[in-house]
A = this chain, B = another copy of it.
Amino acid sequence: MKKEKKAVILFSSGLDSTAVLYYALSKGYKCHCLIFDYGQKHDKEIKSAVKIAKLLKADYSVVKVSLPWLKDSLTNKNKKIPVHKTISGIVPSTYVPGRNTLFLSFALSCAQSINAKSIFIGVNSVDFSNYPDCTPAFIKAYNGVLKALKTAIRVKTPIAKMSKAQIIKLGIKLNVPYELTWTCYNGDKSPCGKCDSCKLRAKGFREAGVRDPILKSSEE
Interface residues of A, Cβ cutoff 8 Å to B: 61, 63-71, 96-99, 101-102, 104-106, 108-110, 112-114, 132-133, 135, 137-138, 140-142, 144-145, 147-151
Return 19 A-B CB contacts under 8 Å, by A number: A61-B68, A64-B66, A65-B65, A67-B110, A69-B109, A70-B109, A96-B109, A97-B112, A98-B105, A98-B108, A101-B108, A101-B145, A102-B102, A102-B109, A132-B148, A132-B149, A133-B149, A144-B145, A145-B145
- CB atoms of A102 and B105 under 8 A apart: yes
Given A69-B109, A97-B113, 8 additional A-B pairs, CB 8 A: A65-B65, A97-B112, A98-B105, A104-B105, A132-B151, A141-B147, A142-B145, A144-B144
A63–B66 CB distance below 8 A: yes
Contact yes or no, A109 B105, CB < 8 A: no
Chain B neighbourhood of A106, CB < 8 A? 67, 98, 102
- The A interface is mostly helix, strand or loop, or mixed, namely helix
How distant is A115 from chain B, measured CB to nearest CB, in Å?
Answer: 10
Q: Give Cα A207–Cα B202 distance, bound, in whole angstroms.
A: 67
Closest to A137 in B: B148
Which residues on the B side are within 8 Å of A66 (C-beta)? 63-64
Chain B's nearest CB lies how many Å from the CB of A165?
27
A135 to B149, CA, bound (A): 9
How long is the Cα–Cα vector from A110 to B113 in the complex, in angstroms? 26
Task: Count chain B CB atoms within 10 A of each CB in A70, A110, A140, A149 and give the residue with the most.
Answer: A149
